[in-house]
Structure 1
């Protein structure tokens, strides 16, 4: 969707897997006031491993946008929207945003609300909402908008999905993981999506069907958790 070009990202050293201090703003993400506020909020809400995943998704998406000469890497305002979409894309996995809709929608709602309060236009907030709401929808996210494509590809590369890997490279992935360790992100994320849905809505099948529809990624995680209650590994539907 964007013509080829080159770009790079400088990374501050961070090899610890301990919780990230929200007061320390990483030097590899946008420095505008909205991005700073969004980062600080995410750092106080998200599980540390989901926060690191969200930051890796941003770095991977930014790297792709840079190589393609996309405005989401070169225009400061669009860069802040890319960051918002990445840092909020899993916000629906935290208790403060465990609402009645599927976690992708809750995350999109949280991002849109934050962006509107920061003075972004409605169409900008909507673009970010779409990118987050569709980030678990392969084949749709890649085609509906440039922003949704970048977020989806960042997610897919971070989880080593073969179809997306040619847009990055092993050295780049390992470099980002070296600065932002993976930990047990697959287990943490899968458990967060399934457990939050079941804890709040498991007593109400109709509500659960809205929170985690059977044909959706959250729905698959919930179904697997119910079928394998003693399983301690990564959710089998991940």
Structure 2
């Protein structure tokens, strides 16, 4: 790629990325589709998860499983994009994208489904942390990137999070991500702020559903979604 759309990362970041076609093409797709704040968040989540995996001597810190960690992280919010805005909640749409991508690059059904599960439940507290080692790593990394002092202090990543934010700025990711999820409701025919969309896309008890409800209750709010 070249010009304004060229993907350019600091050497200290790019040197930590897996070097295979599955990961490189996943990165290019994320760069092309994700809003910059969400792209930066996705990369930070990868770096935090990798950092935790290394501290714990987890197999996900090393190839070949590092590639699964990377594809998970870089695609975990890709379901918020127009290209992958399907009939189900954004987590499922992103999980489908990542699994399809891995299968196309000759990863096994079991490996691809492990990534699918980790993306599909990454907004499900208490489940993601315990269902699978990969899901746990990413859930903790996501919460750490969004400033959870419990996990930042418990896992010893406070300074590391601050360090990578200097290279991959936050750029109001909380607002960008919350708005991206809610905006998908407008793509559903015959839905307005007083009509609940399909249960598949915005289940009422899910994180997308809670975000949408908060927006519907205060549609003129211009800051970060109160339910974020």
Same-fold status (TM-score > 0.5)? yes
Match of 2:45 in 1: 57
Match for 2:176 among 188, 199, 202?
A: 188
Determine helix, strand or coil for the equivalent of 2:136: helix
Q: Runs of 5+ in structure 1 lacking a partner? A: 1-18
Distance 2:44 2:189 in 1: 32
CA contact (8 A) 1:100 1:207 kept: no
Per-residue Cα deviation, 1:200-225 (whole angstroms, up to 9, x for no partner): 12625575321011000000111111
Q: Runs of 5+ in structure 2 lacking a partner? A: none
Match of 1:91 in 2: 78
Per-residue Cα deviation, 1:41-79 (whole angstroms, up to 9, x for no partner): 1110111110000000000000000000000002x1100
Paired residue total: 218
TM-score where L is the length of structure 2: 0.91
Query: C-alpha root-mean-square deviation of aligned residues, in Å?
Result: 1.7
Matches within 5 A, 1:58-207: 58-74=46-62, 76-165=63-152, 166-196=154-184, 198-201=185-188, 203-204=190-191, 207=197
Distance 1:28 1:20 in 2: 22
**Aligned-pair CA distance for 1:23:** 6.6
Match for 2:217 among 205, 227, 230?
A: 227
CA contact (8 A) 1:187 1:234 kept: yes
**Aligned-pair CA distance for 1:31:** 1.0
Match of 1:236 in 2: 226
**Aligned-pair CA distance for 1:226:** 1.0
Distance 2:171 2:65 in 1: 30
Match for 1:210 among 188, 197, 200?
A: 200
Runs of 4+ in 1 over 6 A off after TM superposition: none
CA contact (8 A) 1:143 1:149 kept: yes
**Aligned-pair CA distance for 1:138:** 1.2
Going from structure 1 to structure 2, the CA distance change for 1:142 and 1:54 (only over 3 Å counts) comes to same
**Aligned-pair CA distance for 1:227:** 1.0
Per-residue Cα deviation, 1:109-144 (whole angstroms, up to 9, x for no partner): 000000000000000010000000010011100111
Task: After superposing the two structures, state which structure 1 stretch, 29-38 or 125-134, moved more.
Answer: 29-38
